[in-house]
């Protein structure tokens, strides 16, 4: 993009970056998952262009997206998202020189009408307007931010250069060769991608098509991993092939006689979509029959086994 990159980390600092990151990774992993304290600030290191492009591609950034880069450096991620993909967005960095540089780079790239850069602390930045969050931050930053990311609108995409989110497993990851990388002896980068999952843990009341038998679903959730049971007339069945991606949910229920294929969208108190039964599809909806999600998606207990459920017993 021909961006001015003269404000870089001093070379000695940059050389220490990889070793420091490696140490910090283990330190962060050892900390409790909640309330991760920031012990060391993330220094300025640029994501190479190929990494930026891969981040935007994995996040599927389009013209209707709003991208927030946390720790925006020279602005390259948000600027590229606007210039190459027509997105809007902002970046925040606490270094005023970098905010100034990013602002100049946005003007030079002709995208000042769609992007803006603020001198602001990442941890005091409101993230709610984002459809995509990008970051290249130390591991403990990621872990500290994780609860706030999980609280965002389901379907919000998050992409991180080189560092993961601890026990929140990525939905996708890609490692690419980066010959020009200055901070990693391996000359490669890994990009991690997540979709913020809806909160579906709890009890849901619904009805089965073709007969209207009442069914209660009970879902357990750990981040985007879900499992659960269906109770029909006192009999419990394990849900099969459960999938949660953003607010999209699907699972199958085999009551021993028939197989129902549910899919739909989940919101706070309602799930709705269609259910396939044999050759036919029916509309389906479920309403919460408990008081709602009591925990963030990452804090659910391990899925309980469906005691008494065989998934194959006949009614």
Ligand X SMILES: C[S@@+](CC[C@H](N)C(=O)[O-])C[C@H]1O[C@@H](n2cnc3c(N)ncnc32)[C@H](O)[C@@H]1O
The binding site for ligand X (CB under 6 A) comprises: 41-42, 44-47, 69, 71-73, 76-77, 92-95, 98, 121-123, 136-137, 161
Nearer to ligand X, 71 or 264 (CB): 71
Q: What are the start-end ranges of the E strands in the chain?
A: 66-70, 88-93, 115-119, 132-135, 157-161, 172-177, 188-195, 202-207, 214-222, 225-232, 235-238, 240-245, 248-254, 259-266, 270-277, 280-288
Min CB(107)–ligand X separation in Å: 18
Q: Which residue is nearest to ligand X (CB)?
A: 71
What is the Cα gyration radius of the chain?
23
Nearer to ligand X, 94 or 248 (CB): 94
Residue 34: count of CB within 10 angstroms of its CB: 12
Min CB(286)–ligand X separation in Å: 41
Helix 11-30 / helix 139-150 crossing angle, nearest 10 deg: 60
Min CB(45)–ligand X separation in Å: 4
- Residues 164 and 148: their CA atoms lie apart, in Å, by 15
- Residues 115 and 215: their CA atoms lie apart, in Å, by 49
Min CB(96)–ligand X separation in Å: 10
Min CB(125)–ligand X separation in Å: 8
Nearer to ligand X, 123 or 282 (CB): 123
Min CB(143)–ligand X separation in Å: 14
Which of 37, 40, 39 minimizes the C-alpha distance to 13?
40
Nearer to ligand X, 132 or 239 (CB): 132
- Residues 160 and 150: their CA atoms lie apart, in Å, by 14
Nearer to ligand X, 41 or 167 (CB): 41
Nearer to ligand X, 5 or 305 (CB): 5
């Amino acid at each position: 993009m021909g961006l001015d990159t003269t404000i870089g980390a001093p070379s000695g600092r940059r050389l220490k970056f990889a070793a420091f990151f490696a140490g910090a990774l283990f330190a962060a992993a050892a900390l409790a998952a909640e309330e991760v304290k920031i012990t060391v600030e993330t220094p300025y290191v640029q994501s190479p262009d190929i990494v930026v492009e891969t981040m935007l591609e994995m996040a599927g950034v389009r013209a209707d997206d709003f991208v927030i880069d946390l720790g925006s450096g020279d602005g390259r991620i948000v600027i590229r998202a606007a210039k190459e993909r027509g997105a809007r967005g902002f970046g925040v960095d606490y270094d005023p020189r970098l905010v100034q540089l990013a602002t100049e780079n946005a003007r030079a790239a002709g995208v000042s009408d769609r992007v803006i850069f603020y001198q602001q602390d990442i941890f005091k930045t409101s993230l709610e307007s984002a459809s995509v969050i990008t970051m290249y931050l130390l591991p403990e930053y990621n872990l500290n931010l994780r609860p706030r990311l999980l609280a965002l609108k389901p379907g919000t995409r998050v992409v991180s250069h080189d560092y993961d989110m601890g026990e929140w497993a990525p939905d996708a990851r890609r490692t690419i060769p980066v010959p020009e990388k200055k901070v990693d002896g391996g000359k490669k980068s890994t990009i991690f991608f997540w979709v913020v999952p809806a909160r579906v843990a709890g009890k849901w009341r619904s009805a089965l098509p073709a007969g209207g038998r009442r069914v209660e679903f009970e879902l357990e959730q750990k981040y985007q991993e879900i499992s659960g049971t269906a109770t029909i007339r006192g009999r419990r069945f394990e849900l099969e092939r459960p999938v949660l991606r953003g607010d999209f949910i699907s699972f199958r229920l085999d009551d021993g006689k028939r197989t129902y294929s549910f899919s739909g969208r989940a919101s706070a108190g309602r799930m709705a979509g269609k259910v396939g039964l044999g050759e036919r599809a029916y509309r389906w909806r479920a309403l919460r029959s408990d008081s709602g999600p009591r925990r963030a998606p990452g804090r659910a207990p391990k899925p309980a086994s469906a005691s008494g459920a065989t998934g194959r017993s006949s009614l």
